[in-house]
Amino acid sequence: MTTAPIDLSIIIPAYMEAAGIADDLEKLAAFLKTRDYGAVEVVVVVPDSPDGTAKIAESRAKLFQHFRLVHAGPRVGKGRDVRLGMYESRGHYKIFMDADLATPLEHLDDVKRLVIDKNAHIGIATRDLWKIHKGLIRKLISSTSNVAAQILVAPGIKDTQCGFKVFRADTAEVIFGRMTMLSWSFDAEIILIARLLHYKIVSIEAPDWKDPKAAGMGLVGDNPIKAALSGFLDLWIIRWNAIIGKYKKPNYVHKPMY
């Protein structure tokens, strides 16, 4: 990671987001004009996405004072894309958020108030998991998965999976250098790593989180049972990694793309 006069980096992993990425970047640009977060850069990380997500995102670059499009290469998983964004961005604080703006942008005010202004290490948004999923089966799977995550990797954390997390730059470098999960389970893993390294995690309440896509659980296609089983297995892998000391030192060294 490099040092630069950027106060906040907003990292947006975007795969197959052509249908909404233009509107969402326009909403983000309009919102940032109403706030003073210092110098802000927007970094959109796009793996090979055949729907033209990268081209559309790049067409909105002039909306921002600082904008970078990062081509991530072949699709691997959201974890890889977020990690790449963390290492390619230059802000003193770095937040990743979902391309569909599921967490309302107003919560960036909470990020500034609760994390940046207090020079805290990490802030994570937490949702009301019982309300966000429709249908009893999805609610039960979500609640069960969350209980498993709390028992195995993140005791005391109400929600490990919300795609709205902010890190101080030095903290991000340490945590993401130890991350091993490259798909959806990376959220739980980075929280466990943060705990092992004794970083304080600030909770940002986001009861108004809403999934614009309203489909699936965001893990493996739209099959919630398959998603839950895959996530549960990953939690055990993460727990085992902690037991054998895999997170005690970095396992990843980033080679800058610029």
Q: What is the pLDDT of residue 184?
A: 85
pLDDT category at 248 given cuts 50, 70, 90 is very high
The 10s digit of each residue's pLDDT in 178-232 is: 999 998 899 999 999 999 999 999 999 999 998 776 544 444 445 666 777 788 8
Which one, of 100, 123, 101, 103, lies nearest residue 8 by Cα?
123
Instruction: Residue 161: name the closest of 172, 150, 169 by CA.
Output: 150
CA quadruple 195, 123, 200, 1: dihedral sign: positive
Structure token pair of residue 208: 């108004």
pLDDT at 38: 97
Read off the tokens for 248.
């005690």
- Integer Cα distance of 214 and 80 in angstroms: 24
* Residue 252 included in any domain: no
Report whether pLDDT(100) > 90: yes
235 part of a folded domain: yes
Residue 122: band (very low, low, confident or very high) from pLDDT cuts 50, 70, 90: very high
Rounded Cα distance, 222 and 219, in Å: 8
Q: Which pLDDT belongs to residue 214?
A: 55
Is the per-residue pLDDT at 139 higher than 70? no
- In this structure, is residue 254 part of a structural domain? no
Would you say residue 253 lies in a domain? no
In a domain, 75, yes or no: yes
**How many separate domains does the chain show?**
1
pLDDT tops 80 at residue 95:
yes
Nearest of 254, 122, 143, 257 to residue 201 by alpha carbon: 122
pTM, entire model: 0.90
Beta-carbon count within 10 A of 4 CB:
14
Whether 152 is covered by a domain: the verdict is: yes
Say if residue 73's pLDDT is above 60.
Answer: yes
What pLDDT shows up at residue 216? 43
Q: How far is CA 183 from the centre of its chain?
A: 11
Among the residue ranges 83-92, 109-118, 218-227, the one predicted with the least confidence is: 218-227
Q: What is the CATH number of the domain that holds 168?
A: 3.90.550.10
Q: Is residue 258 a part of any domain in this protein?
A: no
Higher pLDDT, 197 or 3: 197
pLDDT at position 222: 56
Tell me the residue range of the domain where 50 lies: 6-243
CB 43 within 8 A of CB 89: yes
| Residue 81: inside a domain | yes
Mean pLDDT of 5-11: 96
